[in-house]
């Protein structure tokens, strides 16, 4: 498949230095971002969701938190472009938890059409080279009536108040 220079740079970054830094800092980052994880787990429980996709799941804290909160038979899938982060996410699976982790680009990953009733992301959707293509791909993976719950940084001036 043809990929753009930006896509290749993002893949290299998250499979290299940035991916290693997130795996090394996993415990600290998870503590820091736990309030955001809770917001997404609350949203999943409120539906309640049965099939959840966590976009740019990283080392999987949010995916696992939602799977624990919903319990079986709910199924949570994390997708991330970073092989080391997906490997770390797989190692954290709890007993009886229904999670799967895919190493792939959310912009192009061939999800089963209409598979998910909730799509979430904790800081994983700001890196797309082609956001329109990415969200069109995620839309295909969503069931009719599915929800999209995203937490994303904005520009530095909009994040400071």
Q: Which spans of this chain sit near ligand SAM (rule: CB under 6 A)?
A: 10, 14, 29, 33, 56-58, 61-62, 79-82, 85, 105-107, 122-124, 127-128
Across-strand partners of 99?
Answer: 76
Helices (H), 47-110: 61-70, 83-91
Minimum gap (Å) between residue 160 Cβ and ligand SAM: 18
User: Cα separation of 30 and 54, whole Å?
Assistant: 15
- Phi then psi for residue 75, to 5 deg, are -125, 130
Q: Pick the closer one to ligand SAM by CB: 116 or 124.
A: 124
> Alpha carbon of 34 to those of 20, 21, 117: distances in Å?
20, 18, 23
Minimum gap (Å) between residue 3 Cβ and ligand SAM: 10
Of all residues in this chain, which one has the CB nearest to ligand SAM in the complex? 58
3-class secondary structure, 102: strand
Q: Pick the closer one to ligand SAM by CB: 85 or 141.
A: 85
Minimum gap (Å) between residue 22 Cβ and ligand SAM: 6
Minimum gap (Å) between residue 138 Cβ and ligand SAM: 10
Q: Pick the closer one to ligand SAM by CB: 28 or 73.
A: 28
Query: Do 103 and 83 contact (CB within 8 A), yes or no?
Result: yes
Cβ-count burial of 92 within 10 angstroms (0-12 exposed, 13-18 middle, 19+ buried)?
Answer: middle
Q: Pick the closer one to ligand SAM by CB: 127 or 145.
A: 127
Q: Pick the closer one to ligand SAM by CB: 23 or 45.
A: 23
């Amino acid at each position: 498949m043809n990929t753009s220079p930006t896509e290749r740079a993002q893949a290299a970054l998250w499979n290299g230095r940035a991916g290693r830094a997130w795996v090394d800092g996993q415990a600290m980052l998870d503590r820091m971002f736990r309030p955001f994880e809770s917001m997404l787990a609350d949203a999943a429980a409120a539906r309640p969701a049965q099939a959840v996709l966590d976009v740019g799941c990283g080392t999987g804290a949010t995916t696992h938190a939602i799977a624990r909160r919903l319990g079986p038979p709910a199924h949570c899938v994390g997708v991330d472009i970073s092989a080391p982060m997906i490997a770390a996410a797989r190692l954290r699976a709890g007993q009886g938890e229904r999670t799967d982790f895919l190493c792939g680009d959310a912009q192009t990953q061939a999800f089963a059409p209409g598979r998910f009733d909730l799509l979430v992301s904790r800081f994983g959707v700001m890196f797309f080279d082609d956001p329109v293509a990415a969200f069109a791909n995620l839309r295909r993976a969503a069931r009719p009536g599915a929800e999209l719950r995203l937490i994303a940084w904005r520009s530095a001036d909009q994040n400071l108040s």
